[in-house]
Amino acid sequence: MAYDWWSSRSPASGQDTLVRAVAMQTASERGGRVWYTAQKRNDARDAWMDSIEAVTSSGLGSAVKVRLTNGSESLRVIASGGTYRVFARSGALHGRQSDRVFLDEGWAHSAERGAELMQAIVPTQPPASARRRGSCPRPEPTCRNGSKPW
């Protein structure tokens, strides 16, 4: 079973637009919880802010509420209650739930940091197939291509 996570981001390839669209779709569905991180918190916040500015200046602007308080930034979809937030440290998701997590330039993290991130992310996120079935078994994580994440 594959977990939903994104491991690369390049402005030239249009992945920012894809991340924004998938994040908003997930947050709009049944109160989905979406998280975004990068190597440094400020980098994650800057990229997240680019998405927030694009969403609020679009036709979706009236359908969302944005909180910009440093350390608790969030975009909330009013109708569903879903959120799109930033996190920085590996322990930042402890006690949280997620439906989708985006790792900005995941390839640039060391194997140790990657393992820490996966240790923080995987327990918060049921596999996509479990969300469709409505159950949440916890199999060993794999990437979409079937390989181990780290």
Question: What CATH number is attached to the domain comprising 29?
Answer: 3.40.50.300
9 versus 46: the higher-pLDDT residue is 46
The C-alpha atoms of residue 105 and residue 96 are separated, in whole angstroms, by 23
Q: How far is CA 115 from the centre of its chain?
A: 17
97 domain-assigned: yes
Domain range for 119: 5-132
Task: With cut-offs at 50, 70 and 90, classify the pLDDT of residue 2.
Answer: very low
- Residue 65 in any domain: the answer is yes
Of the chain, the end-to-end C-alpha distance in Å amounts to 16
Mean pLDDT throughout 41-50? Answer: 90
Instruction: Check whether 72 has a pLDDT greater than 90.
Output: no
Tokens 């994440």 locate to 149
In a domain, 141, yes or no: no
β-strand pairing of 83-86 with 64-67? unpaired
* Contact criterion met (CB below 8 Å) for 27 and 97: no
**In this structure, is residue 24 part of a structural domain?**
yes
Confidence of residue 9 (pLDDT cuts 50, 70, 90): very low
What pLDDT does residue 14 have?
74
Q: How many C-beta neighbours within 10 Å does residue 14 have?
A: 9
Cα(130)–Cα(116) distance, rounded to whole angstroms? 24
Q: Name the maximum alpha-carbon separation found in the chain.
A: 41
Number of domains in the chain: 1
Band of residue 4 on the pLDDT scale cut at 50, 70, 90: very low
Structural domain contains residue 144: no
Q: Is residue 104 part of a domain?
A: yes
d(CA 79, CA 84) in angstroms, rounded, equals: 14
Tell me the whole-structure pTM to 2 decimals. 0.72
In the β-sheet with 64-67, what is the strand arrangement from edge to edge? Answer: 5-6, 100-103, 33-37, 83-86, 74-77, 64-67
